[in-house]
């Protein structure tokens, strides 16, 4: 019997199979997905539509090779703000949203305020970015930079 998860959603084993299949191949045809989970195409389509409407499925994306597109260097940056007030948080978040070099931005608990994941061509490009963008972001007091030497694991798949 299906049980609600922490978000109050009810996913049965077929929903979980569908989500596994879509995480493996977001371009899988509805017919192939139906075969994979042993349901009719109509039933599978209805489930995928429900999962999308409920916000479980949030979108579909193509994964690109950053090195082949001039963004081979990944750098993580710890950001400490000078003040932790709502207006500083909002200004920082707004400024981060418009920077394409910043792939991810997470507010974190601990010794700093935000963790950024950035991508650029090389260390020279990062140095330019740090001086002209990063250190100019609203409220930035201090940063710590961690250049990635080897990407050991990179996945968007959630454990289900």
Whether 4 shows a pLDDT value over 90: the answer reads no
In the chain, residues under CATH classification 3.30.70.920 are 66-147
In the chain, residues under CATH classification 1.10.10.10 are 9-53
Burial code (b: 16+ CB inside 10 Å, e: under 16) for 75-92 equals bebbbebeeeeeebbeeb
- In the structure, what pLDDT confidence band is assigned to residue 68 with cuts at 50, 70 and 90? very high
Three state DSSP letters for 93-144: HHHHHCCCCEEEEEECCCCCCEEEEEEECCHHHHHHHHHHCHHHCCCEEEEE
Model pTM? Answer: 0.87
**What's the confidence (pLDDT) of residue 2?**
55
Is the CATH number 1.10.10.10 carried by domain 9-53? yes
Contacts for 10 with CB less than 8 Å, ≥ 6 apart? 2, 3, 4
- Over the stretch 69-81, which tens digit does the pLDDT of each residue have? 999 999 999 999 9
Whether 52 shows a pLDDT value over 80: the answer reads yes
- Over the stretch 111-158, which tens digit does the pLDDT of each residue have? 999 999 999 999 999 999 999 999 999 999 999 999 999 999 999 999
Is the CATH number 3.90.25.10 carried by domain 66-147? no
Are 116 and 102 in contact by the 8 Å Cβ rule? The answer is: yes
**What's the confidence (pLDDT) of residue 9?**
81
Q: What is the CA radius of gyration of the chain?
A: 20
Residue for token digits 């003040």? 83
């Amino acid at each position: 019997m299906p049980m609600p998860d922490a978000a109050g959603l009810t996913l049965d084993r077929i929903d979980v199979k569908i989500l596994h299949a879509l995480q493996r191949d977001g371009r899988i045809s509805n017919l192939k997905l139906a075969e994979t989970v042993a349901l009719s195409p109509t039933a599978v389509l209805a489930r995928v539509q429900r999962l999308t409407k409920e916000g479980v499925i949030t979108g579909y994306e193509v994964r690109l090779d950053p090195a082949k597109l001039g963004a081979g260097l990944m750098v993580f940056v710890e950001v400490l703000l000078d003040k932790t007030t709502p207006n500083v948080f909002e200004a920082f978040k707004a400024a981060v949203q418009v920077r394409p070099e910043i792939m991810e931005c997470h507010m974190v608990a601990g010794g700093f305020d935000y963790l950024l994941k950035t991508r650029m061509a090389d260390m020279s490009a990062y140095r330019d970015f740090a001086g002209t963008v990063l250190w100019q972001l609203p409220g930035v007091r201090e940063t710590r930079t961690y250049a990635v030497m080897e990407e050991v694991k990179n996945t968007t798949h959630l454990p289900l």
